[in-house]
Protein backbone atom coordinates (compact mmCIF):
# COMPACT_ATOMS: atom_id res chain seq x y z
CA UNK A 1 0.00 0.00 0.00
CA UNK A 2 1.14 3.51 -0.70
CA UNK A 3 1.08 6.58 1.51
CA UNK A 4 1.65 10.28 1.07
CA UNK A 5 3.07 12.80 3.52
CA UNK A 6 2.67 16.51 3.05
CA UNK A 7 5.02 17.93 5.60
CA UNK A 8 3.52 21.40 5.86
CA UNK A 9 -0.10 21.96 6.77
CA UNK A 10 0.15 25.67 6.02
CA UNK A 11 2.60 27.74 3.99
CA UNK A 12 2.34 31.53 4.18
CA UNK A 13 4.20 33.51 1.54
CA UNK A 14 4.24 37.03 0.14
CA UNK A 15 3.03 37.78 -3.35
CA UNK A 16 5.70 37.40 -6.08
CA UNK A 17 7.88 35.27 -3.80
CA UNK A 18 8.84 31.70 -4.75
CA UNK A 19 7.19 28.79 -2.99
CA UNK A 20 7.78 25.08 -2.53
CA UNK A 21 5.17 22.67 -1.20
CA UNK A 22 6.66 19.42 -0.04
CA UNK A 23 5.40 15.93 -0.71
CA UNK A 24 6.96 12.59 0.16
CA UNK A 25 5.53 9.20 -0.60
CA UNK A 26 6.13 5.59 0.24
CA UNK A 27 5.40 2.60 -1.92
CA UNK A 28 6.87 -0.81 -2.59
CA UNK A 29 6.27 -0.49 -6.33
CA UNK A 30 6.53 2.13 -9.04
CA UNK A 31 4.14 5.01 -8.67
CA UNK A 32 2.36 7.75 -10.50
CA UNK A 33 2.24 11.12 -8.76
CA UNK A 34 -0.20 14.01 -8.91
CA UNK A 35 -0.74 17.48 -7.53
CA UNK A 36 -4.25 18.88 -7.25
CA UNK A 37 -5.49 22.32 -6.23
CA UNK A 38 -8.75 22.96 -4.40
CA UNK A 39 -10.33 26.38 -4.08
CA UNK A 40 -12.88 26.96 -1.28
CA UNK A 41 -16.04 24.91 -1.66
CA UNK A 42 -14.93 23.46 -4.95
CA UNK A 43 -13.70 20.13 -6.25
CA UNK A 44 -10.14 19.28 -7.15
CA UNK A 45 -8.36 20.45 -10.27
CA UNK A 46 -5.30 18.65 -11.59
CA UNK A 47 -2.20 20.85 -11.61
CA UNK A 48 0.26 18.32 -12.97
CA UNK A 49 1.15 14.65 -12.99
CA UNK A 50 4.19 12.42 -13.29
CA UNK A 51 3.72 9.12 -15.08
CA UNK A 52 7.15 8.42 -16.57
CA UNK A 53 9.94 10.09 -18.51
CA UNK A 54 11.35 13.47 -17.54
CA UNK A 55 11.42 13.94 -13.81
CA UNK A 56 10.64 17.64 -14.11
CA UNK A 57 6.97 18.10 -14.79
CA UNK A 58 5.37 21.38 -15.77
CA UNK A 59 1.74 22.05 -15.03
CA UNK A 60 -0.86 24.74 -15.26
CA UNK A 61 -0.69 28.20 -13.67
CA UNK A 62 3.12 28.23 -13.74
CA UNK A 63 3.58 25.33 -11.33
CA UNK A 64 6.15 22.60 -11.74
CA UNK A 65 7.22 19.58 -9.73
CA UNK A 66 10.24 17.32 -9.70
CA UNK A 67 10.09 13.60 -9.12
CA UNK A 68 13.03 12.37 -7.05
CA UNK A 69 12.98 8.62 -6.79
CA UNK A 70 15.92 8.31 -4.39
CA UNK A 71 14.31 10.73 -1.96
CA UNK A 72 10.77 9.54 -2.71
CA UNK A 73 9.68 13.12 -3.14
CA UNK A 74 7.54 15.11 -5.51
CA UNK A 75 7.78 18.72 -4.37
CA UNK A 76 5.68 21.41 -6.03
CA UNK A 77 7.24 24.76 -6.91
CA UNK A 78 6.33 28.09 -8.37
CA UNK A 79 8.90 30.86 -8.90
CA UNK A 80 6.49 33.74 -8.26
CA UNK A 81 3.10 33.34 -6.61
CA UNK A 82 -0.02 35.44 -6.99
CA UNK A 83 -2.80 36.20 -4.57
CA UNK A 84 -5.02 33.96 -6.68
CA UNK A 85 -2.81 30.97 -5.86
CA UNK A 86 -4.21 30.96 -2.34
CA UNK A 87 -5.82 27.53 -2.07
CA UNK A 88 -5.45 24.02 -0.70
CA UNK A 89 -2.97 21.79 -2.50
CA UNK A 90 -3.08 18.01 -2.41
CA UNK A 91 -0.40 15.56 -3.40
CA UNK A 92 -1.61 12.13 -4.50
CA UNK A 93 0.00 8.84 -5.45
CA UNK A 94 -1.22 5.72 -7.20
CA UNK A 95 0.63 2.53 -7.88
CA UNK A 96 1.46 1.95 -11.53
CA UNK A 97 -0.15 -1.13 -12.95
CA UNK A 98 -2.80 -1.20 -10.28
CA UNK A 99 -6.36 0.02 -10.29
CA UNK A 100 -6.51 3.77 -10.28
CA UNK A 101 -7.40 4.68 -6.71
CA UNK A 102 -5.17 7.55 -5.65
CA UNK A 103 -4.11 8.08 -2.07
CA UNK A 104 -4.14 11.71 -1.04
CA UNK A 105 -1.96 13.60 1.37
CA UNK A 106 -3.61 15.69 4.05
CA UNK A 107 -3.17 18.87 2.03
CA UNK A 108 -1.16 22.08 2.33
CA UNK A 109 -2.86 25.40 2.64
CA UNK A 110 -0.98 28.01 0.60
CA UNK A 111 -1.70 31.52 1.82
CA UNK A 112 -0.39 34.34 -0.33
CA UNK A 113 -0.16 37.73 1.36
CA UNK A 114 -0.07 41.03 -0.55
CA UNK B 1 -9.95 17.90 -19.90
CA UNK B 2 -13.07 15.89 -19.27
CA UNK B 3 -15.87 17.48 -17.29
CA UNK B 4 -17.59 16.02 -14.25
CA UNK B 5 -20.70 17.77 -13.01
CA UNK B 6 -21.93 17.29 -9.47
CA UNK B 7 -25.35 18.44 -8.31
CA UNK B 8 -26.42 20.04 -6.07
CA UNK B 9 -23.46 22.15 -5.02
CA UNK B 10 -25.06 22.91 -1.69
CA UNK B 11 -27.97 21.33 0.19
CA UNK B 12 -29.52 21.80 3.60
CA UNK B 13 -31.84 19.12 4.89
CA UNK B 14 -33.66 18.21 8.06
CA UNK B 15 -32.42 15.44 10.26
CA UNK B 16 -34.03 12.12 9.32
CA UNK B 17 -34.56 12.93 5.66
CA UNK B 18 -32.63 11.53 2.70
CA UNK B 19 -30.54 13.47 0.23
CA UNK B 20 -29.44 12.42 -3.25
CA UNK B 21 -26.28 13.76 -4.87
CA UNK B 22 -25.68 13.27 -8.58
CA UNK B 23 -22.38 12.92 -10.37
CA UNK B 24 -22.35 13.08 -14.15
CA UNK B 25 -19.56 12.72 -16.67
CA UNK B 26 -20.55 15.21 -19.34
CA UNK B 27 -18.32 14.39 -22.27
CA UNK B 28 -17.00 10.92 -21.62
CA UNK B 29 -18.12 7.54 -20.38
CA UNK B 30 -17.00 6.65 -16.91
CA UNK B 31 -16.89 2.98 -16.07
CA UNK B 32 -15.72 3.82 -12.58
CA UNK B 33 -16.63 6.67 -10.29
CA UNK B 34 -15.36 7.40 -6.81
CA UNK B 35 -17.11 9.06 -3.91
CA UNK B 36 -15.10 10.96 -1.32
CA UNK B 37 -15.92 12.72 1.89
CA UNK B 38 -13.88 15.67 3.06
CA UNK B 39 -13.94 17.03 6.59
CA UNK B 40 -12.88 20.64 7.22
CA UNK B 41 -9.16 21.21 6.76
CA UNK B 42 -8.62 17.53 6.04
CA UNK B 43 -7.86 15.36 3.09
CA UNK B 44 -10.26 13.37 0.98
CA UNK B 45 -11.47 10.12 2.43
CA UNK B 46 -12.49 7.53 -0.13
CA UNK B 47 -15.94 6.23 0.72
CA UNK B 48 -16.65 3.87 -2.15
CA UNK B 49 -15.84 2.91 -5.69
CA UNK B 50 -18.80 2.79 -8.02
CA UNK B 51 -18.74 0.55 -11.06
CA UNK B 52 -21.35 0.82 -13.78
CA UNK B 53 -23.81 -2.03 -13.67
CA UNK B 54 -22.53 -3.60 -10.47
CA UNK B 55 -22.57 -3.03 -6.75
CA UNK B 56 -20.33 -0.39 -5.29
CA UNK B 57 -17.27 -1.34 -3.29
CA UNK B 58 -17.28 0.39 0.06
CA UNK B 59 -14.23 1.25 2.12
CA UNK B 60 -13.91 -0.13 5.59
CA UNK B 61 -16.00 1.76 8.11
CA UNK B 62 -18.42 3.22 5.57
CA UNK B 63 -22.02 2.14 6.13
CA UNK B 64 -23.38 0.89 2.83
CA UNK B 65 -26.97 1.08 4.05
CA UNK B 66 -26.54 4.70 4.96
CA UNK B 67 -24.65 5.81 1.89
CA UNK B 68 -26.42 4.22 -1.06
CA UNK B 69 -24.55 4.35 -4.33
CA UNK B 70 -26.08 3.66 -7.70
CA UNK B 71 -24.18 3.69 -10.99
CA UNK B 72 -26.96 3.01 -13.42
CA UNK B 73 -25.29 4.30 -16.56
CA UNK B 74 -21.84 5.13 -17.89
CA UNK B 75 -22.42 8.81 -17.25
CA UNK B 76 -24.26 8.92 -13.94
CA UNK B 77 -23.60 7.82 -10.40
CA UNK B 78 -25.69 8.86 -7.42
CA UNK B 79 -24.97 8.95 -3.71
CA UNK B 80 -27.98 8.93 -1.39
CA UNK B 81 -27.44 9.80 2.24
CA UNK B 82 -30.31 8.07 3.98
CA UNK B 83 -31.83 9.21 7.26
CA UNK B 84 -29.30 12.00 7.47
CA UNK B 85 -28.05 13.23 10.82
CA UNK B 86 -26.00 16.31 11.72
CA UNK B 87 -22.82 14.21 11.86
CA UNK B 88 -23.30 13.45 8.16
CA UNK B 89 -22.76 17.13 7.40
CA UNK B 90 -19.68 17.31 5.22
CA UNK B 91 -18.30 18.08 1.78
CA UNK B 92 -18.86 15.21 -0.63
CA UNK B 93 -16.85 14.97 -3.84
CA UNK B 94 -17.15 12.55 -6.74
CA UNK B 95 -14.60 11.74 -9.37
CA UNK B 96 -14.82 9.83 -12.59
CA UNK B 97 -12.16 7.94 -14.44
CA UNK B 98 -11.74 7.77 -18.17
CA UNK B 99 -10.95 4.38 -19.58
CA UNK B 100 -10.12 1.14 -17.82
CA UNK B 101 -7.79 0.15 -15.05
CA UNK B 102 -4.33 1.56 -14.84
CA UNK B 103 -2.73 4.18 -12.72
CA UNK B 104 -2.07 6.49 -15.63
CA UNK B 105 -5.75 7.06 -16.16
CA UNK B 106 -6.57 10.47 -14.84
CA UNK B 107 -9.55 11.02 -12.59
CA UNK B 108 -11.64 14.15 -12.98
CA UNK B 109 -13.42 15.68 -10.03
CA UNK B 110 -16.83 17.21 -9.58
CA UNK B 111 -17.31 20.55 -7.88
CA UNK B 112 -18.35 18.96 -4.63
CA UNK B 113 -21.56 19.09 -2.59
CA UNK B 114 -21.76 20.83 0.76
CA UNK B 115 -24.32 18.91 2.85
CA UNK B 116 -25.64 20.49 6.01
CA UNK B 117 -28.06 18.51 8.15
CA UNK B 118 -30.02 20.56 10.67
d(CA A50, CA A94): 11
Strands (E), chain A: 3-5, 10-14, 19-21, 24-26, 31-38, 44-50, 56-58, 64-68, 73-78, 87-95, 103-104, 108-113
* Residues in chain B within 8 Å Cβ distance of A45: 109
Residues A81-91 pLDDT 10s: 999 999 999 99
* Residues in chain A within 8 Å Cβ distance of B106: 46, 49
pLDDT surpassing 70 at residue B12:
yes
Interface check B3 vs A, CB under 8 A: no
pLDDT score of B103: 47
Mutate to test the interface with A, among B26, B37, B39, B44 (most CBs of A within 10 A): B44
Contact yes or no for B96/B25 (Cβ under 8 A): yes
pLDDT surpassing 80 at residue B104:
no
Distance from CA of B2 to the nearest CA of A (A): 11
Residue A4 pLDDT grade (very low, low, confident, very high; cuts 50, 70, 90)? very high
CA dihedral A82, A88, A89, A95 (to 10 degrees): -160
- Three-class SS of B42-106: CCEEEEEEEECCCCCEECCCCCCCCEEEEEEECCEEEEEECCCCHHHCEEEEEEEEECCCCCCCC
pLDDT score of A2: 82
Q: Which of A36, A46, A94 sits opposite B103 (nearest CB)?
A: A94
pLDDT score of A20: 98
Cβ-Cβ contacts under 8 Å for A96 (sequence gap 6 or more): A29, A30, A31, A32, A51, B103, B104
* Residues in chain B within 8 Å Cβ distance of A48: none
pLDDT surpassing 80 at residue B102:
no
Residue A40 pLDDT grade (very low, low, confident, very high; cuts 50, 70, 90)? confident
Contact yes or no for A103/A3 (Cβ under 8 A): yes
d(CA B110, CA B30): 13
d(CA B63, CA A50): 34
* Residues in chain A within 8 Å Cβ distance of B34: 101
Residues A62-79 pLDDT 10s: 999 999 999 999 999 999
Residues A92-107 pLDDT 10s: 998 876 666 788 999 9
> How much of chain B exceeds pLDDT 70, in percent?
93
Cβ-Cβ contacts under 8 Å for A70 (sequence gap 6 or more): none
pLDDT surpassing 80 at residue B99:
no
Q: What is the DSSP letter of B41?
A: T
CB contact under 8 A, B109 and A44: yes
Mutate to test the interface with B, among A33, A34, A101, A110 (most CBs of B within 10 A): A101
Distance from CA of B19 to the nearest CA of A (A): 19
Amino acid sequence: AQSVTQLDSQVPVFEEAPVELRCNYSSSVSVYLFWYVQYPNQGLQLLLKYLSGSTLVKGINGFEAEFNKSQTSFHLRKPSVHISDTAEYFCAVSESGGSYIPTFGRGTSLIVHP
Amino acid sequence: GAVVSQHPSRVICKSGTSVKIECRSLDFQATTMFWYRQFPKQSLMLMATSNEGSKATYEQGVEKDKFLINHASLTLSTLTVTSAHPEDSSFYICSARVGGQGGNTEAFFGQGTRLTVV
